[in-house]
Structures are given as C-alpha cells and as structure tokens.
Amino acid sequence: MNKNKKTGLIGIIITIIILCVLVFLTNVNISNYSYAESVLGKIVMPVQNGLTYLKNKMAGNSTFFQDMNSLKSENAQLKDDNTKLQQSLSELEMIKAENSTLKEYAGLINEYPDYTAVPAYIINKNVSNLSDTFIINAGTDNGVYANMPVISGEGLVGFVISSAKKTAAVQPIIDPTSNVSCNIGTGTETMIAKGNLGDNSHLKLTLIPTDCDLMIGGTLQTSGIGGIYPKGILIGTIKDITNTKNVTDRYATVETAVNFAKLDTVLVITNQ
C-alpha cells in the first residue's frame, strides 16, 4: 500500500518537472545554443510548436467570441433598419393611395364641371338580403344632406338617404328598393330601372312604353324626373330583353355602368 503511494507521488513529481521543462522550452530561443542543444531543440521543437499552436488557438477563440458579439450587434441593427424600412414602405403606399384618390377626385370634378360636388370614399358596406347600402366619410359638416345624388367616374351610384356630422348613408341604384327614372340614349320615353335582389351589377328595366324600340347595347341615362337625380347621368347598358304576351309587361336587363364590387371613391352632388 505504501509502495503504491510512493509510486504515485513519484509520478506526480516527474509530471510536474516535465511540465516545467516544457514551459521553459516554449519561452527559450534555441538558436543561441550549441550544436548539441540545437539537436535537443529539434527534438523538443514539435512540442514547442504544439504548445504555441494551442496558445494561438486560445487567442483565436477569444477573437471568435468577440466577432460573435459584433455580429449580434450588427444583426440587431439590421433588424432595426429593416423595421424602419418596412414602416417607410407602408407610409409610401399610403401616400400613393392618397395621391391616387386625389387624382380620381380631380377626374370626377373635371368630368362633371357643371356640378358642385363633395368628394368622399366608402368606409363601410352593409349588404343583406333586403338592402344594400354603404357609408361614406362625408356628412353635414361637408354640406352633405339627404336626397343628394351620388356619382362616380363611371356613372350613377345612388343617393344619400341620411347624414350625420362626419358620415352619410347612401342607397345605391342596385338596392332592391331603388327606382330610377331613365331614358334610352337621347330618347324621350321614360321608364324605370329597379334594383335586383342579390344582384350588384344588374338592374331591371320596367314600365317600358309600348312604342319604345329597345335594342341590346342601348345606353340608359337619368331622365331628370323625380327630383333627386339630374338629367343625363349614365346608368348602364341594355344586355337582354324579355318579351311577354302582354307588351306592357316586357322588361330588360341592364348592366350598371358602375362596378359596385370595386367602388371606393364617389362624389356627392350638392347643387343641381
């Protein structure tokens, strides 16, 4: 037992001596010694190079961690820059949309120079089986009141049914309860274009005079009769004619000039 302890102690001492020699050798310039010493240096050189490599490796790891911290900082900065860029792009898209809306307003006003009109855009749509109305962002504060006609660059939209200070409700001509007095082209015969339940692109043309010569492709315009809509605003185009046994009951299908599915911007006519 004591012998084993002595053997272990000797081994530890030898190991410490070897380590001290190796440390000494890594810091010695062997070129200043004799030939015999240089031979010994050649033997020890691989060990010295190995220890030097390990020290450099340790230094390299330190640089690696420094680089990692730098990359993390740069990555955080890039994320922040990316967020700011996305915000700028979003703001740019909003500006482009506003410019597009303003151009559309200008186009509408130029198209109807005889009218004084208030531009507005749709902020909410209420569609049900019994009615089809929408809300615009203009009201009494803007001079918008009930029974004022509403138009777009394509043609007739509807009329204001009620208004608050900042908003107004509009009944479009596609609403099932809507009735618009109209003429075909430059004709004088008056008839009625009614909204169809559940159809946002077609009207039903009724009360057609018996002597009226209907033609597919004919255009409908407001007649000016009824006190709401001024004369001459485009309503739509005749797409189909249905004849019945009683000529007074015949009717036609009219495709609206306004694409209500994509309608965003309107003008409220405040004078007639």
For Cα atoms 128, 130, 131, give the angle at the middle one, nearest 5 degrees.
Answer: 70
Supply angle C-alpha 90, 94, 99, rounded to 5.
145
pLDDT in tens, 194-206: 998 778 889 999 9
pTM of the model: 0.61
The gap between the terminal CA atoms of the chain, to the nearest Å, is 121
Q: β-strands 132-136, 168-172: how paired? A: antiparallel
Residues 168-211: pLDDT tens digits? 999 999 999 999 999 987 778 899 999 987 788 899 999 988 88
Buried b (16+ CB within 10 A) or exposed e, 234-261: bbbebeeeeeeeeeeebbbbbebbbebe
**Which domains, ranges and CATH numbers included, belong to the chain?**
2-63 (no CATH), 117-269 (2.40.10.350)
* Residue carrying structure tokens 């001509």: 173
For a pLDDT cut of 70, what percent of the chain falls above it? 65
Helix (H) or strand (E) holding 121: strand 117-127
pLDDT, tens only, 53-95: 555 555 555 565 566 677 777 778 887 778 877 777 766 655 5
